[in-house]
Structure 1
């Protein structure tokens, strides 16, 4: 499959554009290959374009001055970044950080082309649908942070990763928007209750039913 065909397969909205518009857009796209760990955008940085992810994934976070991180969402192939859309529409700088989780291939739609495409109903509908989906995700995140205790959220996170987790306490803390020390203390408590077994960079689920009770409060 050619790069153009793969992009169109990931993002069917491009095939819905009038042929002349689609050909013009395809000619003005910029392809980027970035290794895992690359910071693609950061706070107060100008937004240069609208990203389409072809391979890999991007983790979007909000970072504090103290180094704490709150994960907002991930952008997988076929999806795109609502914060990038918001910055382009509002002519504002980024207010979050985007990091390539894995080796990632993305295609950048330049800002001028994004502005032109908003006149096309198919593309405009795609952008608005993106906003609706991401706002629902962010509302769920706000609900989790505001109304569920951290031990409940940690239990639910562990249950979603299988019986044997190969991860660090820091990685779990990053996903929960917490700090490693607190997560480590909670995990030790879970281990003392016989819910999990801890070893270096590995967590084994021993009592899934008990974790489910913990997660449900």
Structure 2
């Protein structure tokens, strides 16, 4: 994967020398809120779901990381020596390249690495703005549909294995409200509900 992102032989040598590959199973948590950030993850295979969690355990979904992508939150925390403010969960069986935090800054001497990190900040910022817009300017049904579409894209399937409670937890709302919305969406032929599964129907 690295040779598809980077071409600088010196950077590739450093990646081989310092980085470690970690395999995470579906639903495993790679990073927890409050963890000291020891590495910056670059997804090689699979998908990671990034969720913001407050001190009371309330969560809100932020974005997914796909192969070749890294987490701007983790980079920011390691640069500012702060503990993690997010949870990173494996959406599917995944493989992650772990870059030690003590060399992240040093690698800015490589133009490709600097461009990669700057591009990451830009992409994640745009995704966060989309989340904020959904929360601030749209009804909950728009938020739920966006969430389901993102989860569907992440697992590359119209069938999503998830409970109403899990959706409520990651959208920071009540299960009863989610269940009512999903039933309404089913009546409108947007989704089809099953036992702990939701099928996204063609628009």
Normalised-by-shorter TM-score class: 0.7 to 0.9
Could you tell me which residue of structure 2 aligns to residue 3 of structure 1?
A: none
Aligned to 2:165: 170
Match of 1:82 in 2: 72
Report if aligned partners of 1:41, 1:94 keep a CA contact under 8 Å in 2.
yes
Return 173-182 or 51-60, whichever deviates more.
173-182
For residue 128 of structure 2, what is the aligned residue in structure 1? 138
**Structure 1: how far apart are the matches of 2:124 and 2:102?**
24
1:40 alignment partner, SS class: strand
Structure 2: any 5+ residue segments left out of the alignment?
Answer: none
Q: Shift in Å at residue 169 of structure 1?
A: 1.9
Matches of 1:69 and 1:167, distance apart in 2: 16
Residues 3 and 12 in structure 2, CA contact (< 8 A), matched pair in contact too: no
Q: Distance in 1 between matches of 2:119 and 2:66?
A: 16
What is the RMSD computed on CA atoms of the aligned residues? 2.7
Residue of structure 2 equivalent to 1:214: none
**How many residues matched?**
196
TM-score, normalising length: structure 2: 0.81
Residue 195 of structure 1 is matched in structure 2 by: 188
Alignment of 1:9-158 (within 5 A): 9=4, 12=5, 14-15=6-7, 17=8, 19-155=9-145
CA distance in 2, matches of 1:202, 1:50: 33
3-state SS of paired residue (2:122): helix
